[in-house]
Amino acid sequence: MKIKNTLKHLVERVTYLLNEKRVSIKLKIFTFVGLFVILNIVINLLIVRLSINDIYLGFEKKELENEYTLIKDNIDSENKLINIIYRANSNGIKIKLVDEDLNLLYTIFSDKMNSRFTNLDLMLLNSLGEDESKIITLKNYSKSGYDLHLVGKTESGYAIISTSIESLKKDARTSVIVMLASSLITFIILLIVAYFISKVFSKKINEVKDVTDDITSLKFNKKIEVKTNDELGDLFNNINLMSDRLQSNIKELEKANTKLKEDLLLKEKQEEIRKKLIANISHEFKTPLTIISGYSQLMLDDVKDPENKKNMELIISESERLSDLVHEFLELSRLESGNITLNKVDVDVKELIKSELDKLSMKINENNIKVDTKFTGNQIIKADKKQITKVIENILTNAIKFVKGKNVIKVRTYSKDEYFYYEVYNSGDNIKDKDLENIFNSYYKDKSTRNKEGTGLGLTIVKAIVTLHDGTCEVKNVKDGVKFIIGIKK
């Protein structure tokens, strides 16, 4: 577990260092391949170190069992037994066969340790007990030099088969050394291969980077050379195709943008001409209308005939309406010109609303309108008092003009986020959905408003004033009426 955590920490640390600093992908590939190979070697060595002895011991036990089986199968043949004993001896396995009285029957007599019955043999036979056969491992039994023993019963007595574990340890060490050497050779070969692979791969990545860098700079001359018919080849082809399409689309966008700029410039010029024309005409109309209204007032006193008097009153009324229209035109032109400077001061919106309701009280009473007001939170905002007064007046006048049904007008003020809201509801007919978006446009009137008094510029002026204050204008249909919501940035 400790080794595992150490290796894990090493990999995490290397990954962190590679990501912390800008490191080429070639070095990253090379580093990770090297770490992988080292990790693989360490794991293999650990596996060999921990299990090779057990593996070899298992093989030796199996070998002793095979020899024991051969002895039992050939116990009646002296020649075969001698051959078995000598062949086993050449493989490092010592065999003793004794009768039931523990007299030595067969062995290799040239071996002093095996030419007689010893105390070790007696101890091994005593450990057999009632078992048919038994494998016994004796650690550090230096007298005999044989640490792995199989004791078993035969038809004529007993068999004692022994081998040395020391040779197993040597074989295990030799295997570890061979595996280490082969792992090191494999490691060197893989590092060389990883170096060349990373070099080739890094070269192609740098080529892709150069092309994509040019694309981000809107340069499309470079293309990636495609030499492979695989996923990378598909990727490079797609990048080249993307470059061509981007180049084509950008050219089309540039053409469209040039045309759009020309159209916008023409539209701006036309709009400027329209505004100047309206302003000039309005200015020229102002004086004649004032004269017509003034003289008509004077002439009205001298008119005796009722019919003529009615006609004169109509002239005065229409001239005054035209005069109001001219005044609204001039006001709107001034607001839309952008040359107006707002004189922002602390304005108490609650007091302005109450003041405007007092001015409109005669119309409110004449039409039996119920006005419900609710002021929430701080009512002081930074705004141009004169212009905000115009907004409050126009919205209230509009509500009075179109109130119907329950004859209710509700006025609400409140703050939300960075805006102060002035909200006016009037009971009555809803506005058609297709007309809602045009409600703040100049001269817009739907069929239901064409018989109403007014110039048609009131809400347009509201929109212009609110825009100068970085505010918002909204109108929406609600149950049994219409609601205007004006937001002024605090």
The stretch 194-214 carries a mean pLDDT of 73
The confidence band for 186, taking pLDDT boundaries of 50, 70 and 90, is confident
Say if residues 63 and 39 touch (Cβ distance below 8 Å).
Answer: no
The confidence band for 113, taking pLDDT boundaries of 50, 70 and 90, is very low
Of 309, 340, 371, the residue that ends a domain is 340
Say if residues 456 and 445 touch (Cβ distance below 8 Å).
Answer: yes
pTM for the full model? 0.42
pLDDT in tens, 394-408: 899 999 999 998 999
The stretch 317-341 carries a mean pLDDT of 63
204 with 55, same domain: the answer is yes
Of 219, 246, 276, the residue that ends a domain is 219
The torsion angles phi and psi of 152, rounded to 5 degrees, stand at: -150, 160
Whole-angstrom distance, CA of residue 80 vs CA of residue 197:
62
196 with 253, same domain: the answer is no
37 with 155, same domain: the answer is yes
Whole-angstrom distance, CA of residue 156 vs CA of residue 170:
36
168 with 79, same domain: the answer is yes
134 with 102, same domain: the answer is yes
Say if residues 221 and 214 touch (Cβ distance below 8 Å).
Answer: yes
pLDDT in tens, 70-97: 988 888 888 888 888 888 888 888 888 8
The stretch 62-75 carries a mean pLDDT of 89
Q: Is the pLDDT of residue 490 over 60?
A: yes
Cβ of 50: how many Cβ atoms within 10 Å? 9
Question: Which residues, at least 6 apart from 313, have a Cβ–Cβ distance to it below 8 Å?
Answer: 300
Q: Is the pLDDT of residue 8 over 80?
A: no
189 with 116, same domain: the answer is yes
161 with 255, same domain: the answer is no
269 with 371, same domain: the answer is no
User: What pLDDT was estimated at residue 329?
Assistant: 59
Of 186, 219, 252, the residue that ends a domain is 219
- Domain extent, residue 17, equals 1-219
pLDDT in tens, 122-148: 888 888 888 888 888 876 554 555 678
Whole-angstrom distance, CA of residue 477 vs CA of residue 484:
9
Q: Identify which of 387, 396, 402, 408 has the alpha carbon closest to the alpha carbon of residue 461.
A: 387
CATH of the domain at 394: 3.30.565.10
363 with 310, same domain: the answer is no
80 with 135, same domain: the answer is yes
260 with 189, same domain: the answer is no
182 with 236, same domain: the answer is no
User: What pLDDT was estimated at residue 175?
Assistant: 67
CATH of the domain at 309: 1.10.287.130
Q: Is the pLDDT of residue 150 over 70?
A: yes
User: What pLDDT was estimated at residue 484?
Assistant: 94
Please give the C-alpha separations between residue 60 and each of 43, 162, 181, in angstroms, as whole numbers: 25, 10, 26
The total domain count for the chain is: 3
End-to-end CA distance of the chain: 64
Locate 106 and state its tokens. Answer: 């067969």
